[in-house]
């Protein structure tokens, strides 16, 4: 069978794959995109987008509850979960339709099937049709995994959360990372009693410890029960069809209606022919790439979660676009700068950070580090006499007190971080913040008023 020839073959139709396909096509490249499932990958279908929708529902629930403390005649909020899912999936369907329209307009050939590498320039699709191209882009993302413990099949993973049609009465979440914290907040706000079981001593490794300690306090005030240093060894079916957790020290929990594992993700690289083509994987199965998104095989590239680099949707998109700028746009030096990437955890309240944590800064700069903090109650929570607090933190370096880290915990942190991230990337100092007139009364003004 004669191969079909392209300039670029993209395997994976998630955020990174789509971004790469669209950017390459904009330069006139002939592009094929292989994706057997819904377009948009994890982010659109079982990640960022539906997660943010559920987070917004949870935020509304909490705001309605606060309203009653301020004199509004409101009933305790309850969510018609199935009705909300209709709105959530309608929104996602609109994204799918937008992708299909853009693919058609850009001339990208969509093949709704898997792809397997035969060599560095040849891919065979699920129908056995060989495709050739000068460049191959691996953008197959990742998937959640269950730990290898007895009874693991009794627990759900994060993808399964989006199949829920109501809030389970009692939920155990195993893990302490992004996914665990976000699901705990959403489920607690929407009616579940949530308990988190964290193997280590804290949540959100990689975030500033002062911020995460304050977040834990806020989570507990919202009713989430957290157990640290708790290593789950097995799950067992309870007599009344619930699930019980067994710890490595032999202790047993009470019955839970639902258990959700948020204990990590694995690269989706299985049965793709990568090893046969000579593409190197690390011990965890992630595709190894250099700073230019190139693998060890000439002409084969990878972006996004499949590489294990900063598993964030905007990172995959930015890396793919810059890669295509280099391959097809004549920009020989184009590549993504992986430093100072802003990120937000949609907890309750949200956490955002950009740059170095205090510990990282002190490891690099020693006594040249200065730290400023502002701890306060946002105005709405002060009016309602709610105990929820915000904590903002600046990490500064040197005599000019250059800002190398900004950490925000509190309402609006997700929206206000973006602009400050631009400023930090440009090398602002504390004096620059002080020269900026505050917007009052807001939480954001605390960043420019810290002294």
Task: Point out the residues that are catalytic.
Answer: 440
Q: Are 144 and 46 in contact (CB under 8 A)?
A: no
End-to-end CA distance of the chain: 71
Give CA torsion, residues 18, 19, 20, 21, to 10 deg. 50
**Ramachandran angles phi, psi of 4, nearest 5°:** -90, 135
Dihedral class, residue 410 (left if φ above 0, else alpha if ψ from -120 to 50, else beta): left
Q: Are 32 and 18 in contact (CB under 8 A)?
A: no
CB neighbours of 314 closer than 8 A, spacing ≥ 6? none
Helix segments in 70-155, DSSP class H:
81-106
CA dist 154 and 237 (Å) reads 7
Residue 445, helix vs strand vs coil: helix
- Residue 82's alpha-carbon distances to 54, 55, 57, 160, 164, in angstroms, are 12, 15, 12, 15, 9
CA dist 352 and 211 (Å) reads 10
- Residue 407's alpha-carbon distances to 202, 250, 279, in angstroms, are 17, 38, 38
CA dist 188 and 352 (Å) reads 21
CA dist 139 and 129 (Å) reads 20
Q: Are 145 and 28 in contact (CB under 8 A)?
A: no
* Long-range contact pairs involving 236-240 (C-beta distance under 8 Å, separation at least 24): 236/151, 236/154, 237/151, 237/154
Q: Are 178 and 203 in contact (CB under 8 A)?
A: no
DSSP letter assigned to residue 151:
T
């Amino acid at each position: 069978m004669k191969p079909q020839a392209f300039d670029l073959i993209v395997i994976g139709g998630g955020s990174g794959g789509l971004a790469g396909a669209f950017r390459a096509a904009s330069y006139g490249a002939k592009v094929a995109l292989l994706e057997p499932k819904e377009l948009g990958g994890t982010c659109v279908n079982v990640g960022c987008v539906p997660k943010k929708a559920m987070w917004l529902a949870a935020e509304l629930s909490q705001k309605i509850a606060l309203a009653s403390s301020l004199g509004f005649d409101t009933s305790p909020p309850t969510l018609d979960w199935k009705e909300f899912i209709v709105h959530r999936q309608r929104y996602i369907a609109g994204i799918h339709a937008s992708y299909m329209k853009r693919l058609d307009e850009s001339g990208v050939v969509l093949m709704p099937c898997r792809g397997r590498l035969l060599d560095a320039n040849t891919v065979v699709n699920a129908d056995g049709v060989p495709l050739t191209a000068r460049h191959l882009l691996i953008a197959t993302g990742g998937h959640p995994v269950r730990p290898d413990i007895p009874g693991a099949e009794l627990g759900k993973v994060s993808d399964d959360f989006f199949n829920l049609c109501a809030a389970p009465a009692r939920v155990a979440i195993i893990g302490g990372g992004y996914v665990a914290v976000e699901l705990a907040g959403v489920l607690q706000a929407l009616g579940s009693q949530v308990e988190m079981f964290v193997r280590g001593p804290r949540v959100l490794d990689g975030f500033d410890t002062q911020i995460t300690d304050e977040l834990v306090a806020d989570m507990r005030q919202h009713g989430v029960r957290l157990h640290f240093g708790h290593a789950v060894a097995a799950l067992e079916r309870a007599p009344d069809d619930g699930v019980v957790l067994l710890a490595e020290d032999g202790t047993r929990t009470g019955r839970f209606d639902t258990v959700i594992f948020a204990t990590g993700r694995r690269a989706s690289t299985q049965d793709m022919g990568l090893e046969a083509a000579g593409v190197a994987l690390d011990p965890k199965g992630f595709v190894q790439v250099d700073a230019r998104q190139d693998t060890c095989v000439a002409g084969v590239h990878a972006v996004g979660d499949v590489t294990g680099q900063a598993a964030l949707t905007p990172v995959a998109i930015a890396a793919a676009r810059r890669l295509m700028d280099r391959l097809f746009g004549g920009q020989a030096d184009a590549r993504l700068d992986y430093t100072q990437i802003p990120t937000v955890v949609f907890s309750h309240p949200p956490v955002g950070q950009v740059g170095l944590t205090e510990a990282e800064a002190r490891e690099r700069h020693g006594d040249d580090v200065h730290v400023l903090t502002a701890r306060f109650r946002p105005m709405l929570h002060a009016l309602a006499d709610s105990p929820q607090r915000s904590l903002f933190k600046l990490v500064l370096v040197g005599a000019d007190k250059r800002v190398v880290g900004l950490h925000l915990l509190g309402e609006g942190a997700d929206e206000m971080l973006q602009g400050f991230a631009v400023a930090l990337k440009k090398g602002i100092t504390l004096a620059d913040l002080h020269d900026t007139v505050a917007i009052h009364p807001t939480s954001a003004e605390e960043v420019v008023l810290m002294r």
